[in-house]
Amino acid sequence: MDFGLVETDKKCYARLAAPAAVDWLSRRSEARVLQVFSRSCNLISSGGSILSLVSTELGPGPFAITVEMIGSPSKDMPGIWEDVTVFSRVRISPEQIQIASVHINLSEAEIWNPKPAWEDISPGNLAQVYQLLHRLLCSYSPSSNAHTTINNEQLRAFVPKWMAAWHEMSAGLQKFDIVQAKLGAKKMAGLGGGLTPAGDDFLMGFIYSLWSQWDSKMAHTWATEIVKVASPLTTRLSATWLKAAANGEATENWHRLVNALINSDPDNLVSAASRILAVGHSSGSDALTGYIAGFMALSRVQSF
């Protein structure tokens, strides 16, 4: 179905689509706008599942479609999502998505695999890797970091809860006790507030560390159990990210990091980690902290 274009509408093309996004489109003809940001727009179905539409510069993700607008944004041509609000009408057909003045042609989208080649990471590289990433993380202090925007009272309330949750999780991991690890994950879920709370970002990175160190069957089993207890305790968007992580699915930045690990390439490892650190106010740094913490726990190194 062609919804029709007028001169002021924005003509866009879908470029890369994760399988989950394709499945989302195949099952629904109605949805509403959940959130709008400068470079992305999240849609939600009546059943509560989420599709993320992202500008191509953000790169693909596990439940996303990358979108390119014909003609670059300028003073005279605003960004893709500028006219979109949570009240905008959403219309979906097999050929296109229309949200307010945005028309997204789906016909040229290519399928993108959201799962990095975790199984190709050599265990021999991991000890040096987490030390390098830990040094990078410790030297990272962006002016926009979320930790600088919360007051001392909030920080004092957050840190003890985070430490108690991580103590439980790491003890369970070191003893290979999934029940204890789940108790810690339950305490970690939803900590910090926001659309993707810091505790959830940490959990996501922690899950990626399992995929990096264990065989896929064990990583998937543990991750699924952890997400089962965590996802009901957080936001819908954050739960979607956690469920994707449990399946070993990640954004393009994590693919870059995994490829650098596989190729023993420290320069690209630092580059990929820096891209992750730049995500959100603190989401990237929280996720990378969880990733490193998972290495440290399994190595029986005293962590944070």
Find how far residue 221's CA is from the centre of its chain. 20
- pLDDT at position 148 is 38
- pLDDT at position 122 is 86
- pLDDT at position 147 is 43
- pLDDT at position 131 is 72
- pLDDT at position 73 is 54
- pLDDT at position 28 is 72
For residue 32, the SS3 value is strand
pTM comes to 0.89
Distance CA 149, CA 161 (A): 19
- pLDDT at position 30 is 81
Nearest to 184 by CA among 164, 212, 156, 208: 164
Residues in the chain where the model's pLDDT stays below 50: 7, 74-77, 143-151, 301-304
Distance CA 17, CA 153 (A): 42
Distance CA 16, CA 61 (A): 9
- pLDDT at position 156 is 62
Distance CA 243, CA 264 (A): 29
Per the DSSP assignment, residues forming a β-bridge with 97 are 92, 104
- pLDDT at position 9 is 79
Q: 33 and 86 in contact (C-beta within 8 Å)? A: yes
Q: Which alpha helices (DSSP H) does 139-215 contain, by range?
A: 152-174, 178-188, 198-213
- pLDDT at position 265 is 87
- pLDDT at position 236 is 95
- pLDDT at position 134 is 72
- 268's CB contacts (< 8 A; 6+ apart) are 256, 259, 260
Find how far residue 52's CA is from the centre of its chain. 11
Nearest to 67 by CA among 10, 8, 12: 12
Q: 54 and 68 in contact (C-beta within 8 Å)? A: no
- Provide the token pair at 119: 């199984």
Distance CA 263, CA 243 (A): 28
Percent of the chain that is helix, strand, coil (3-state, to 5): 50, 15, 35
